[in-house]
Structure 1
Amino acid sequence: MKRRDFMKVAGAGAVASTLATPAIAQGKMQWKMVTAWPKNLPGPGVAAQKLADRITALSGGRIEVKLFAAGELVPGRGVFDAVSQGTAELYHAVPAYWGSKSKGILMFGSQPFGLRGDEQVGWLAHGGGQELYDEIYGRFGLKPFLCGNSGPQWQGWFKTEINSVDDLKGLRFRTTGLASEMCAKLGMAVQAMGGRDMFQALQSGALDAGEFIGPWTDSALGFYQVAKNYYWPGVGEPSSAEECAVNLEAFNALPADLQQAVKYACDSLYNEVWTEYTTKHAIALQKLVAEQGVQVKKLPDSVVTAMGNAAGEVIADLREDEDPLVRKIVESFISYRSLVAGYMPYADNGQMNARAMDYKY
C-alpha cells in the first residue's frame, strides 16, 4: 500500500498499518528503530537509545520512536536492508558494516589514516561530503545522518606481542570496513563479527587478536579477560562515525518541521556522543591497567608505516573503482584530507605536542 493511499484510509477513520508505513495513532507516528547493537551496550547501544528518545522529544511526541536492539526485530547486520525495504523506519549502526552494498559507503564511517571525528563532520558540512552521502544512500532508499563518533579507535587486543610486520602474517584478526582491506594486504586473516562473537572467538582460539571500539565499550565486553596486550594507535580507524539512516519515503513524507527535528536530533548528538566516548574511554583505560593487568603497548613504527602503505593501496584501488560515484566520493575525501592535513600540524597537533612537553602544570 502506498503512503498516500494509506493516508486516505486513515483519514476516513479506518485503522491500518503495513511494514512500509508507520503506525499512526491519535495524530502520532510510531516509528521503529532497529540497531546493530545489543541493548544499552556501553557506547553505541547507549547512543542509539539517546537518539530514539531525542527524536521523540524534538518532534514534540509526534514521532514516537521505539528501539529494537540487534536480534529483537532483525539481526544487527540486517538493519540496512530492513530500513531500505520499509520493515522499520530508521536504524542506528556504522557505515563500516555496509561495504557489500558499495565500497563508497565505507568512506563515510572511517578511513585508515583518514579523518578525525571533527574533520569528518567538516568534510560533510563544508567539503561537499553530505551531498555524496545522500546520493549513495539514496540508491537504497535511505536518508543518512551522522549522529555520533567513537573517536580514535585502538588497534586492538592481541594474545601475543607484535614486534614486526612479519608477526602480522596469518594472524586471525577481527576488524571491519576499509581497515579489513588494509590488514588483508599485510597478510592478516581478517574476520568480521560482532563484539560478543569476538570475545567467544578469542576465548576459543578461533581468533588471535581483534579490535572493536575502545576502552569503555571493550571493557564492558570483557576482552581483557582473554587477551592482555592492548595496542595503539588504531590507525585503521582514526575515528568511527555512528549513523542514523531513515527510510527515504518515510522521511520525505514528513512535514518540514519534523524533517528538521530528525536532522537536529542527529546533529545535536554528535558531539555529546563523541565526548562521552572520550571521557569514559579515559576512565576505563585507567581501570583496565590498574585493576585488570592490561598491558598498553604501542605498535612499532615499522608496523605503522607498513599499514600506511597498505592503506594507500586500498585508496588507490578505490580511485580506480568501476563505479563513478565511488570514485567521486574518494576524490572528495582525498581533497578534504589534504586540506586539513596541511593545517593540523599548526593547530591540533601543535597543541597536543605542546601539552606533552615536560613542564609543571
Structure 2
Amino acid sequence: MTADLNRRNFLGKGAAAGVAAAAGTVLATPAIAQELPTLRWRLTSGFPNNLDTIYGGAVVMAEALSEITEGKFQIQVFQAGELVPGAQAIDAVQANTVEIAHTCGYYFTGKNPTFAIGSTIPFGLNARQQNAWLYHGGGNELYNTFLEEYGVVGIPGGATGAQMGGWFRKEINSLADLSGIKMRIAGVAGEVMSRLGVVPQQLPGGDIYPALERGTIDAAEWVGPYDDERLGFYQIAPYYYYPAYWEGGLTIHFYINKAQYEALPETYKVALDTACKAANINMQALYDVKNTAAIRSLVGKGVQLRPLPRDVLDAAYKATFELYEEYSANNPQWAAIYPSWKKFRDESFEWFRVAEYTYDSYMYAAQAAGQ
C-alpha cells in the first residue's frame, strides 16, 4: 500500500471526521465557514520527499486542515531545499519567508540547546511519555515560552518512537572502540558522543550516504529501519546498533510564525491544532508498521544487529546528566524547562515500571521463547 493511499485511508476513515468532531460546533455550519477568510500558507519541510513517512507528516496535516476548513485554509508543502535549506527552516519562519516549517527542534541546538528539549534529548521520554508531557504535562507550554524569543509557535506534529543507534563500518565492542570515529549525529546527542571520543558531524539526511560512501564519516544515525533501508546505509556500514539512547521518543514540531498564528481566526487555530494531532498520531502508527517489515528485510540482507555495549550506555548516561547540569547553570532558557521535564520523566518512569514494563517484558520473553 502506498504512502498516498495510507494517507487517504487515514484521513477518510478517521482524521477528517474526528477532527471535525473535536473542533465542535465552530466548524459545524456552512454559514460560519463562509465568513472565514481564504488563506494560503507555505510550509518548508526539514526533510526530503523521498522519506515519505517523516516528510509525509506535513502532507497529512495539510490535507486534514484543508478538509476541515472546506478548502479555505490551505498549506502548500515544500521539501527541504526547495524553498530554503532544511537547516534554515526556523530562520525562514522567523523572517516570514514561509509561515510554517515542519522539522526537528534539535537541528537548531547551535542557536540554543533548549530547542532540543521539545523534540527529544538523550535518556529522555519514550513516545507515549513524550506526548503526555507535551500535551498534558505542561511541556509544550514551556517550550512555547522559550520559542517566543524567536517569534515562533510550536505544535507537535510527528513521532518516530525509539530510534536505532546507527550504522557503523566496524564493530563496537566497548567504549574504547568509539575513540576517533567520525559519526553523523545531531544536536545534544552529538555533544554527549563527543565526550565519549566520537567526532560528531551534522549532516542532512540526503548527504549521509555519500559521506559514508566517500569515507568522510565512519558511522551515521538517522531514524530507524524503514528510512535507513531506503537510504541504503546497509550497503556500506554493515553493523546496525540499537537503541538510540538520544532518541527514545522523538517529536517533530510544526513551527509557525507567531504573528501569523496569532492573526488566525480562533476556528482556524482549532483546525490547525487538530490537524497537527492527526499528523502526530498517524506518523507514529506508520513507523510502527513500516519498521516491523523493514527490520526483517535488513536482517535478510545480512545486516548485523548489535546492542550498544553496556559501558557505552553507562558512560553516555553519566556524560548526559553532567551536560544537563552545565546547561542548567549556564543557560536560563534551559533552566526554565529542565526541572519540570526531569520531574515528569522520573515520576513517569516510576509508573511505567509498574504495569507497562512488566507487561512488555513478560510478553516479549514469551514470544521469544516460541510461546
Both structures adopt the same fold (TM-score exceeding 0.5) = yes
Q: Do the aligned partners of 1:42 and 1:216 also contact (CA within 8 Å) in 2?
A: no
The whole-number CA distance in structure 2 between the counterparts of 1:58 and 1:206 is: 47
Deviations 1:183-204 (A, max 9, x none): 0111110000012211111110
The whole-number CA distance in structure 2 between the counterparts of 1:133 and 1:109 is: 10
Compute the displacement of 1:43 (Å): 2.4
Deviations 1:290-321 (A, max 9, x none): 1x211111111111111111112221212212
The whole-number CA distance in structure 1 between the counterparts of 2:50 and 2:205 is: 13
Give the match's secondary structure for 1:307. Answer: helix
The whole-number CA distance in structure 2 between the counterparts of 1:69 and 1:119 is: 29
The whole-number CA distance in structure 2 between the counterparts of 1:232 and 1:188 is: 17
Determine what percentage of the aligned residue pairs are the same residue: 31
Deviations 1:56-94 (A, max 9, x none): 222221111111111111111111011111111101101
Q: Which residue of 1 aligns with 2:348?
A: 340
Q: Which residue of 2 aligns with 1:278?
A: 288
Residue 45 (structure 1) aligned to one of 46, 49, 55? 55
Q: Which residue of 2 aligns with 1:122?
A: 132
Q: Write the letter of the residue equivalent to 1:342.
A: E
Q: Do the aligned partners of 1:28 and 1:63 also contact (CA within 8 Å) in 2?
A: yes
Give the match's secondary structure for 1:143. Answer: strand
119-128 or 190-199, larger mean C-alpha shift: 119-128
276-285 or 58-67, larger mean C-alpha shift: 58-67
Compute the displacement of 1:49 (Å): 1.6
Q: Unpaired runs of 5+ in structure 1?
A: 1-25
Give the match's secondary structure for 1:37. Answer: coil
The whole-number CA distance in structure 1 between the counterparts of 2:179 and 2:58 is: 36
- Find runs of 4+ consecutive structure 1 residues off by over 3 angstroms: 358-361
Compute the displacement of 1:280 (Å): 0.5
Compute the displacement of 1:138 (Å): 1.3
Q: Which residue of 1 aligns with 2:335?
A: 327
Give the match's secondary structure for 1:216. Answer: helix
Q: Quick check: 1:351 aligned with 2:352?
A: no
Residue 175 (structure 2) aligned to one of 160, 165, 175? 165
The whole-number CA distance in structure 1 between the counterparts of 2:325 and 2:228 is: 32
Compute the displacement of 1:328 (Å): 1.5
| 1:139-150 pair list within 5 angstroms | 139-150=149-160
Q: Which residue of 1 aligns with 2:71?
A: 61
279-288 or 265-274, larger mean C-alpha shift: 265-274
Residue 115 (structure 2) aligned to one of 101, 105, 110? 105
The whole-number CA distance in structure 1 between the counterparts of 2:59 and 2:233 is: 24
| 1:140-289 pair list within 5 angstroms | 140-289=150-299
The whole-number CA distance in structure 1 between the counterparts of 2:327 and 2:283 is: 30
Compute the displacement of 1:27 (Å): 4.4
Q: Do the aligned partners of 1:40 and 1:46 also contact (CA within 8 Å) in 2?
A: no
Residue 95 (structure 1) aligned to one of 105, 108, 130? 105
Compute the displacement of 1:269 (Å): 2.0
Give the match's secondary structure for 1:60. Answer: coil
The whole-number CA distance in structure 1 between the counterparts of 2:123 and 2:75 is: 36
Q: Unpaired runs of 5+ in structure 2?
A: 1-35
Q: Which residue of 2 aligns with 1:32?
A: 42
Residue 131 (structure 1) aligned to one of 117, 137, 141? 141
The whole-number CA distance in structure 2 between the counterparts of 1:224 and 1:306 is: 27
The whole-number CA distance in structure 1 between the counterparts of 2:136 and 2:42 is: 31
Q: Do the aligned partners of 2:118 and 2:140 also contact (CA within 8 Å) in 1?
A: no
Q: Do the aligned partners of 2:48 and 2:206 also contact (CA within 8 Å) in 1?
A: no
Give the match's secondary structure for 1:320. Answer: helix
Number of residues paired by the alignment?
A: 334
Q: Do the aligned partners of 1:42 and 1:220 also contact (CA within 8 Å) in 2?
A: no
Distance 1:28 1:151, change over 3 A: same
Deviations 1:30-63 (A, max 9, x none): 1001111112413211222212222222222111
Give the match's secondary structure for 2:305. Answer: strand
User: Superposition RMSD on alpha carbons, in Å?
Assistant: 1.4
The whole-number CA distance in structure 2 between the counterparts of 1:70 and 1:218 is: 18
Q: Do the aligned partners of 1:51 and 1:265 also contact (CA within 8 Å) in 2?
A: yes
The whole-number CA distance in structure 1 between the counterparts of 2:57 and 2:140 is: 21
Q: Which residue of 2 aligns with 1:316?
A: 325
Compute the displacement of 1:277 (Å): 0.8
Distance 1:207 1:360, change over 3 A: closer
Q: Do the aligned partners of 1:97 and 1:177 also contact (CA within 8 Å) in 2?
A: yes
Q: Do the aligned partners of 2:61 and 2:278 also contact (CA within 8 Å) in 1?
A: no
